[in-house]
Structure 1
Amino acid sequence: MVKILAKELKGTGITANCVAPGPIATDMFLDGKTEEMVKKVIDECPHGRLGQTEDVAPVVGFLATDASEWVNGQVIRVNGGYV
């Protein structure tokens, strides 16, 4: 979908990208999960932890600057290597 939007915005100077975070330690992620479920997710992550909002924010910030003007139509995974 983001590739289509990037093409639709051709010539406007507007870029379209998507940030796809992995498991982030937020109320939304943790809600309804047992400690065992959360531990399993942590164990599957190469960094051995849940992501924090502070891990994602700099990527979003970069995409909001002129420095990212050559990044367009991309899905950027910010997930600590979580597969």
Structure 2
Amino acid sequence: MMQPIVVGVDGAAHSRAAAVWAAGEATLRGLPLHLVQVSSSADLLVVGRSGTTLGPTLHAVLEHTACPVAIVPSRS
């Protein structure tokens, strides 16, 4: 099964630009594209983690998110 390209969108200009870029990338790679609506007023943000350390993307999420974040490790 082909894994999709997933992009979070919230209506802001930068998220629209990310969605346009992701759509082009999905077309180039022949992959499905999934748009995920995100909200800055969430009560809880849940993200997955692989490996034993937090990567730079997850660090950025933790630094810039106003709501609590649940980090769920993979079971591999």
For normalisation by structure 1, the TM-score amounts to 0.27
Q: Quick one: higher RCO (CA 8 Å, sep 6+), 1 or 2?
A: 1
Structure with higher helix content = 1
For normalisation by structure 2, the TM-score amounts to 0.29
Structure with higher strand content = 2
